[in-house]
Chain A
Amino acid sequence: MQTKTATRAARGPAPALAPSSPPFNIGNLVRQQFIAYGILPLLLIVLIITFAVVEPRFISQTNIINVARQVSFLGIIAIAQMLYLITRNYDLSNGGTVALSSITCATVMVSAPQENPALAILLGCLAALLIGLIVGIINAVLIAVFKVSSFMVTLGTGFAATGVALLFAGGVPVTGLPVEFSRNFGTSLVMGIPFPTFMLILVFVGAYVLLNWTRLGRQAYAVGGNEKAAYQAGVNVNRTLIAVMVMGSFLAALVGVMITARVSTGEANIGVQYPMESIIAAVIGGIALAGGEGRVSGAFMGALFIVLLNNGMDLIRVQGYVQDILLGALLILALLVDRVRTKIRVTAPATNLPIQVPLTSDKGENK
């Protein structure tokens, strides 16, 4: 071993896993942050400062609570979308899932015996979440087992789910839900934060743990990154795909329940904007459409960005159409910047980053 290390040291500047020193300065730090998170954190800061200066109401407590509530729905949907995207699939059915979940939830609650509101609420929620599981299973089986393109599958199931919701409710909103439902799950505060935001935090933490600390999460990234290689490395590809996609649709159904509680009505048209908005949020947040990468924090920041942009512009009374134009332009900007980022990340020769801690005593021999 001694001689081996010695010859290694004689060969050149980079023995295995010992830190050589890349030039360290602010530029490199910014660069590393950029490579890790993209341009989004910067955009968020600029956005917040600009709106706060232009319109002080933007940082009022009422507005912050308002934003927190709005971002909860889109945030969860974006995380759900991310679960699909990581496996290299789209979910265009989340809008339909939200709609059908909302209608199911409301209908079941209204039809359940009224003398026991708690039971009615429980049944409603369970039925709605079951819808999420069903949509997820249909999507996942068609995509994973029958290898149909996820774009077409989820477009189809999304349309079908919306159709079922409209048919079910006869095209009108379902009202007359137990007041306790809305009071407890819509407008209440948990530890000072709105209930939906509380749910977002739970989902965020859950998704983070899933993707970074569990076998399933790792395997999902691997399958999305290179399905063939993952299979040969012993990953059960179909099981992974199905598990992750079913979770994604389940979260969409959860949002359906949360919105129903918030507006105290079951509606079939509440999810239309979600497929596109969630993809935009995820992509701005650095989640690759090519699969295999993306962070939960990215999906969340993407959603926050969209919500803040809309909210701020509403406050300073920018027309809705102009908002769409700006959002579209920013999406394209974010994508362009992301290409640069990916290029740097992929083409950069590997260097021993300073964060690398040597585990052996190689250090002394390496100058």
Chain B
Amino acid sequence: MNAVMTDHPVQAPGATISVTALTKRFQGFPALQDVTIDFLPGEVHVLFGENGAGKSTLIGVLAGIHRPDGGTVILQGQAIQPTSPRHARQLGIAAVFQEPALVPQLTVAENLTLGREPMSLGLVDKRARQAAAAQALQRIGSNIDPAAHARDLSRAEQQIVEIARSLQGEAKVLILDEPTASLTDEETNQLFTVVETLRREGIAIIYITHRMSEIRRIGERISVLRDGTLIRTCPLEHVTDDDLVTLMTGRQVGALFPEIPHRPGSTALELHQVHGKGVHGVDLCVRKGEVVGLTGLIGSGKAEIGRLCFGLSRTLSGGIHINGQDARSGSPAERLRQGVIYYPADRKHDGLIFSRSARENVSLSALDKWARSGFINRRREKLEAEAVLRRLSLRPGNPDALPTSFSGGNQQKIVLGRGFTRPYDIHIFDEPTTGVDVGARAEIYQAIQELAESGAAVLLISSDLPEVVNLVHRAYVVAEGRIAGEFSGSDLNEATILPVFFTQYDKEPAN
């Protein structure tokens, strides 16, 4: 490291922060190799790449989480080496990560001043705190109430408070790691307004996202990383979306969404006037060989319908039929026996067992298949579970590794693996591609295609409208717990579907 430090730091004139020849290895494996990028003031610079391409490692180095093995970070002409997130912030590098880390029980003002409360006479000066918080929020052009509790804020508002918090002090660089991953469109707009304000102030903004649509809206230049190396940095107007996918994945765009032939068979899943928590009189059906979408706003009740079908919440009235059999009550275990499998949206809390290997996670639902009077045939289990993981292209391909060692997309593949250990008739996907990069996303879609072609019924619950429009044969829109519309054929397009999201049933105007 010293040898590098003595080199004269070189930085493109005018750049706020630059990395030159940055290299970082984990256990001998390169996560970043010889990466050189300049980030300019007043510019939103998009970092783009699949999970595991090195984006997180790069911002980790900038934010003081990782120490580089080679190369330099130069901040306004000075070589720096952030040793902790705190140190990075003192240097003027602010980072906001995907998951908001506010204390839910505290107010916005308390969160904003946490750890540096203004004091007077040894006590917290509440008035000064309120003022400091209001100022921090005003600075980024937000009108969030400093007295509100963090738990009452929307995800977007929490993100904005996070940004306000990280920008206190003299920030020159702001790193945003997938800030919109869990936001609705409207919330995204709110966030973008704030980002735009900061950009005008001349802050260099480093923005990570997987969403193609956002890149052009917000970014000026883009750097594409693949397998730890910088593939290209260029202004966004110089590349097309197809170029970007090609640069990122190293393969031609074979269209993200596969064409799935529509050969509907008999009805596999049928709901008739189903009532449950947040679900009011829902009718829907999914046939074999069909991919059916269930879309709507977050909180519309579409996720709840999926949970009802899998026995995760109670059906209060109405009928659920699986292959013609009554399935109103019963546990997930019974549903699995009836041929239904559900892939939860929250793979961390509901999907994965983090203390067990990828292989054991996959085989968990099918142990009885390999067991004879309770004893598992481990050779067969290993062979078949690993074949499933290979088929889903788990990367890196080590089935003995713990789920934590995989990226989001690959963790999702582990969860999906459960559906491939044995034939299930009905597959219910709840937001299968949130926090998943484009490469893994294509692989997940391919898996859905394979399932449908093999004659399974697929119910795809998703807030990602392009995904729904391009992948499914039919789509239901859910609003306020009811089916607000059903679309297929030429009606299945964003312009027709989107307005239905906002259907209101209650007399009082929805808030």
Q: Are A349 and B31 in contact (CB under 8 A)?
A: yes
Q: Are B344 and A232 in contact (CB under 8 A)?
A: yes
Whether A230 touches B394, Cβ cut-off 8 Å, given contacts A222-B353, A353-B400, is no
6 intermolecular pairs with C-beta atoms under 8 Å apart: A7-B251, A14-B397, A214-B374, A218-B360, A292-B353, A347-B405
What 1/0 flags go to B359-399 for Cβ under 8 Å of A? 01001110110010011101000010011011011111111
Let me know if B355 is at the binding interface, CB within 8 A: yes
User: Chain B residues near A351 (CB, 8 Å)?
Assistant: 27, 29, 396, 398, 401
Q: Are A349 and B405 in contact (CB under 8 A)?
A: yes
The stretch of A15-23, A138-146, A312-320, A330-338 that contacts the partner chain: A15-23
Let me know if B404 is at the binding interface, CB within 8 A: yes
User: Chain B residues near A11 (CB, 8 Å)?
Assistant: 227, 249-251
Count of chain B residues near A, Cβ 8 A: 60
Cβ of B483 to closest chain A Cβ, rounded Å: 25
Q: Are A349 and B27 in contact (CB under 8 A)?
A: yes
- A212 to B31, alpha carbons, bound, how many Å? 34
The stretch of A194-202, A233-241, A269-277, A299-307 that contacts the partner chain: A233-241
Whether A218 touches B355, Cβ cut-off 8 Å, given contacts A16-B393, A345-B402, is no
Assign chain A's interface to a size class.
35 or more
Given contacts A216-B374, A293-B355, A346-B402, could you give 5 more A-B pairs where the C-beta distance is less than 8 Å?
A215-B368, A219-B364, A232-B310, A234-B365, A359-B387
Q: Are B387 and A229 in contact (CB under 8 A)?
A: no
User: Chain A residues near B77 (CB, 8 Å)?
Assistant: none
Let me know if B264 is at the binding interface, CB within 8 A: no
Q: Which of B349, B371, B401 contacts A350 (CB 8 A)?
A: B401
Let me know if B333 is at the binding interface, CB within 8 A: yes
Within 8 A of A (CB), among B82-103: none
Cβ of B25 to closest chain A Cβ, rounded Å: 10
What 1/0 flags go to B264-280 for Cβ under 8 Å of A? 00000000000000000
Q: Are B226 and A232 in contact (CB under 8 A)?
A: no
Whether A17 touches B28, Cβ cut-off 8 Å, given contacts A12-B226, A214-B375, is no
Let me know if A13 is at the binding interface, CB within 8 A: yes
Whether A16 touches B389, Cβ cut-off 8 Å, given contacts A232-B312, A232-B351, A234-B332, is yes
Cβ of B185 to closest chain A Cβ, rounded Å: 29
- A140 to B32, alpha carbons, bound, how many Å? 50
- A7 to B250, alpha carbons, bound, how many Å? 8
Cβ of A343 to closest chain B Cβ, rounded Å: 11
- A228 to B331, alpha carbons, bound, how many Å? 12
Whether A15 touches B375, Cβ cut-off 8 Å, given contacts A232-B342, A235-B364, A292-B355, is no
- A222 to B393, alpha carbons, bound, how many Å? 24
- A359 to B388, alpha carbons, bound, how many Å? 12
Q: Are A229 and B352 in contact (CB under 8 A)?
A: yes
User: In this complex, what residue of B is CB-closest to A209?
Assistant: B375
Interface residues of A (CB under 8 A from B): 7-8, 10-18, 20, 22-23, 209, 212-216, 218-219, 221-222, 224-226, 228-236, 288, 290-293, 345-353, 355-356, 359-360
Q: Are B332 and A16 in contact (CB under 8 A)?
A: no
- A266 to B210, alpha carbons, bound, how many Å? 69
User: Chain A residues near B249 (CB, 8 Å)?
Assistant: 11
Let me know if B232 is at the binding interface, CB within 8 A: no
Q: Which of B26, B376, B399 contacts A348 (CB 8 A)?
A: B26
Let me know if B418 is at the binding interface, CB within 8 A: yes
User: In this complex, what residue of B is CB-closest to A20?
Assistant: B396
User: Chain A residues near B405 (CB, 8 Å)?
Assistant: 346-350
Q: Are B397 and A233 in contact (CB under 8 A)?
A: no
Interface centre among B226, B250, B353 (most CB of A within 10 A): B353
What 1/0 flags go to B398-420 for Cβ under 8 Å of A? 11111011100000000000100
Q: Are B394 and A17 in contact (CB under 8 A)?
A: yes
Cβ of A211 to closest chain B Cβ, rounded Å: 11
Whether A10 touches B398, Cβ cut-off 8 Å, given contacts A216-B374, A348-B26, A359-B390, is no
Q: Which of B332, B360, B368 contacts A231 (CB 8 A)?
A: B332
User: In this complex, what residue of A is CB-closest to B355?
Assistant: A292
Q: Which of B376, B387, B399 contacts A214 (CB 8 A)?
A: B376
User: Chain B residues near A213 (CB, 8 Å)?
Assistant: 375-376, 378
Whether A233 touches B364, Cβ cut-off 8 Å, given contacts A16-B393, A18-B397, A228-B349, is yes
User: In this complex, what residue of B is CB-closest to A291?
Assistant: B355
Q: Are A219 and B353 in contact (CB under 8 A)?
A: no
Let me know if B350 is at the binding interface, CB within 8 A: yes
Whether A17 touches B397, Cβ cut-off 8 Å, given contacts A23-B28, A351-B29, is yes
Cβ of A322 to closest chain B Cβ, rounded Å: 36
User: Chain B residues near A355 (CB, 8 Å)?
Assistant: 400
Q: Are A232 and B360 in contact (CB under 8 A)?
A: no
- A12 to B376, alpha carbons, bound, how many Å? 36
Whether A350 touches B367, Cβ cut-off 8 Å, given contacts A18-B397, A234-B333, is no
- A209 to B312, alpha carbons, bound, how many Å? 32
- A51 to B398, alpha carbons, bound, how many Å? 42
Q: Are A352 and B396 in contact (CB under 8 A)?
A: yes
Cβ of B312 to closest chain A Cβ, rounded Å: 7
Q: Are A221 and B360 in contact (CB under 8 A)?
A: yes
Q: Are B355 and A221 in contact (CB under 8 A)?
A: yes
Cβ of A81 to closest chain B Cβ, rounded Å: 18
User: Chain B residues near A16 (CB, 8 Å)?
Assistant: 389-390, 392-395, 397
Let me know if B139 is at the binding interface, CB within 8 A: no
- A82 to B29, alpha carbons, bound, how many Å? 36
Whether A10 touches B364, Cβ cut-off 8 Å, given contacts A225-B354, A230-B353, A232-B351, is no
Cβ of B478 to closest chain A Cβ, rounded Å: 21
Cβ of A219 to closest chain B Cβ, rounded Å: 7
Q: Are B355 and A17 in contact (CB under 8 A)?
A: no
Q: Are A222 and B374 in contact (CB under 8 A)?
A: no
Let me know if B356 is at the binding interface, CB within 8 A: yes
Whether A226 touches B371, Cβ cut-off 8 Å, given contacts A11-B251, A15-B397, is no
User: Chain A residues near B401 (CB, 8 Å)?
Assistant: 350-351
Let me know if B144 is at the binding interface, CB within 8 A: no
Whether A226 touches B354, Cβ cut-off 8 Å, given contacts A22-B27, A235-B364, A346-B404, is yes
- A233 to B383, alpha carbons, bound, how many Å? 20
User: Chain B residues near A13 (CB, 8 Å)?
Assistant: 227
Let me know if B336 is at the binding interface, CB within 8 A: yes
List of 6 A-B pairs having minimum Cβ-Cβ separation, nearest first: A292-B355, A17-B397, A350-B405, A350-B401, A225-B353, A225-B355
